[in-house]
Amino acid sequence: MIVKKRFLFILLLTCLMMYIFTGCYFYPNEEAMLEPPLIEEGEVSYNTLPVARKDIENKINVTGYFVSVKQHDLSFEKRGGYIESINVKAGDKVNKGELLALLDNENLINEIKRQEIIYENALHSYELVELSHNNDLELANISLTALQEDLERAKKIGTYSKVELESKQNEIKKQQINIDKINENYNKERLAYKKSVDLEKLSLDSLKADLNKSSIISPASGRVSYIADISIGDYIQSRKVLIRVAEESTLQLQYKGEKANQFTKGMKVRVEINDIEYDGTVVLTSLDVPNDEKDSFRDTIMINIDNLPEDVEIGNSADISVVLQKSEDAIVIPKSVVQGFAGRRVVKVLEDDVVIEKDIETGIESVTEYEVISGLSEGELVIK
């Protein structure tokens, strides 16, 4: 019995050992890992541009607009009031002497009519004084003449006594004194009535002047460039600018922008108007105006055009161009191929299929290109 148990134990142990050492044969063999395929190195291609020579310009191209050099700011100078009419609008052409705006003057007009009647009455009274004086003087002279003739007849007859003749002479003297008083009284009366006429005329002229002050008359022919935002019936203060008239006979081209500081007074420019070029001269920059006006002329230049066409109007545009620098037959490359590093300008050049970097010195600069003063030679290939 003991022998049988040992035999079974040995048998189980043997089977266990066989299982342990032969277990890997129950699983499939793993495949060997494949090495990645080798990629053969190909040729690298570059987009290049041959360095060439050409002309290059540093040129300014901007757009300006025509404005009037001489403008008139118009207002009711001496009095305010309610607006009765505004006869123009912005952009209208006006003629010298044209009525542009008017205040409500109904009361003033009525007052003028009353004063005209008063003045006419005073003038009529003055004329009556003169007429009355002329009549009185004529009658007095007739009486004097009659007295003188009577004296002459009495002397010829010779029958009048000395006393009677002296009496007639005294009558003549009295009449002469009477005539002098008529003239004296007339002169005093005339002066008084003349003074009254002058005063009434002065009052009438003053009222008419007020009426003129209640209207705005264009002082020159031109175009209305501004009208205040105000309506009929609104009250407007005296001296408040209501209308601005710009004379079109004094037009200049104005440019406002960041490139204005590149222009200088006296600089010659080319101006294109409706595809036709004209010569122009810079006549004003922000450096040429007084300090108190620099803000209004900031970044502004004014250009006078030679032989300006008559059909140019305020607000029309024109293209302005001026060449600041120019170089002929220069080495020129696009700005796009230049890289900047710490103040350096570098381009990549392809030499014998090898990329190298070269420092360059640039000169004239246009909007899209550089002039290369040194660092590149004609025919070299720069990488775009």
Per residue in 247-291, pLDDT tens? 988 899 999 999 999 999 999 999 999 999 999 999 999 888 788
Amino acid, res. 368? T
Average pLDDT over residues 134-163: 85
Contact by Cβ (8 Å): 312, 304: no
187 pLDDT exceeds 70? yes
Q: Of all helices (H) and strands (E), which one includes residue 118?
A: helix 106-157
Q: Where are the domains of the chain?
A: 48-54+330-383, 63-68+246-324, 71-105+215-243, 106-213
pLDDT band at 24 (very low <50, low <70, confident <90, very high): very low
Per residue in 89-126, pLDDT tens? 988 999 999 999 999 888 888 899 999 999 999 999 88
Report the chain's mean pLDDT, rounded to a whole number.
86
Q: Which CATH class is domain 48-54+330-383?
A: mainly beta
For the packed helices 106-157 and 162-213, what is the interaxial angle rounded to 10 degrees? Answer: 170
Which pLDDT score is estimated for 159? 78
pLDDT band at 17 (very low <50, low <70, confident <90, very high): low
- Distance between CA atoms of residues 233 and 381, nearest Å: 77
pLDDT band at 18 (very low <50, low <70, confident <90, very high): low
Q: How do beta strands 99-103 and 276-285 pair? A: unpaired
Helix (H, G, I), strand (E, B) or coil at 263: coil
Which pLDDT score is estimated for 25? 44
Contact by Cβ (8 Å): 213, 79: yes
Per residue in 40-54, pLDDT tens? 555 678 899 999 999
- Distance between CA atoms of residues 177 and 171, nearest Å: 10
Per residue in 326-342, pLDDT tens? 999 999 999 999 998 88
pLDDT band at 13 (very low <50, low <70, confident <90, very high): low
pTM for this predicted structure: 0.55
For 33, list phi and psi in degrees, rounded to 5.
-70, 135
Is the model more confident about 30 or about 312? 312
Looking at CATH, the fold of the domain delimited by 106-213 is given as Helix Hairpins (1.10.287)
Looking at CATH, the fold of the domain delimited by 71-105+215-243 is given as OB fold (Dihydrolipoamide Acetyltransferase, E2P) (2.40.50)
Q: Which CATH class is domain 63-68+246-324?
A: mainly beta
Written as six digits, the tokens of 281 are 């001269």
349 pLDDT exceeds 70? yes
Which pLDDT score is estimated for 3? 45
Which pLDDT score is estimated for 31? 52
4 pLDDT exceeds 80? no
Average pLDDT over residues 232-245: 92
Q: Is the dihedral of CA 339, 345, 346, 347 positive or negative?
A: positive
Average pLDDT over residues 67-75: 91
Which pLDDT score is estimated for 302? 95
15 pLDDT exceeds 90? no
